Amino acid sequence: MIPILHLDDQIVVVSKPAGLLVHRSTLDRHETRFLVQSLRDQLGRAVTPVHRLDRPTSGAMVLAFDGVSCATLSDAFERGLIRKTYMAIVRGETPPDGFVDHPLRRLTDDPGQCPGAPEAFDTAQTRYARLATVEIPCRIDRYATTRYSLVALQPLTGRRHQLRRHLKHLSHPIIGDTTYGKSAHNRFFEARYGSRRLLLAATRLCFPHPADGRSMVVDAPLSDDFQRVVDTLGWTSAAGVATSLDDAATDAVYAGTIPAANLG
């Protein structure tokens, strides 16, 4: 069963498990299980994803039951009225907070794209804040000890793999990232903590409801496998603190938000 975080006549907000595709992709032709199909079977209604969440990423995701709601939320995304907050475990000790403004090359799902086509780059911006850090007396790279950080992330743009690529750009790749990360650290977390997943999760989703515009705030708890790593590293309290990365202008849009009912 897919965990339901909020449910009403227009939308459903779910906690997507890590490793589950949202829908069919040309890059995973042999996959047979998808979030959209599983939700359709579970709820008995067709659903349409409003935004994308990478296969290895877990956490909050909103889907619509009708075309009008989907279009309304899609427009809100384009206007920057939807906020997504993520939590990640990364290599190294990050600065306390920061802002990444680093354009990213446009990625495509089409494996047949002409390799000679000119590359397109899109503006990409991310806010981040360090929640906790730890130093482990274990040599992995060239140092006698190794540091890791728990960070909160907020993408201000919606580029593909944006958070994973921006953290790589900062030299603080996300643990468990087999595409942009460091294999030695991934192997260390698998051997020491039993973690075989990308340690990135969408933990909060804020958006105007498509029916009446009321502000919604939906929190997604960390999955059990992610939470075990957090607890083992001594970050239980830090991970449980709701962290705001919003500026005053964005906060004003969401003044007076109400928590979404947990119907799951």
The residues carrying an active-site annotation are: 54
DSSP label at residue 34: B
Contacts of 173 (CB under 8 A, 6+ apart): 90, 91, 164, 167, 180, 181, 182, 185
Rg (CA), the chain: 19
Query: How far apart are alpha carbons 82 and 74 in whole angstroms?
Result: 9
How many C-beta neighbours within 10 Å does residue 194 have?
11
Inter-residue contact 254 to 76 (CB < 8 Å): no
Q: Is 80 left (phi over 0), alpha (psi -120 to 50) or beta?
A: left
Burial state string for 80-102 with b = 16 or more CB within 10 A and e = fewer than 16: ebbbbbbbbbbbbebeeeeebee
Query: How far apart are alpha carbons 50 and 167 in whole angstroms?
Result: 25
Q: What is the token pair recorded at 63?
A: 């889907």
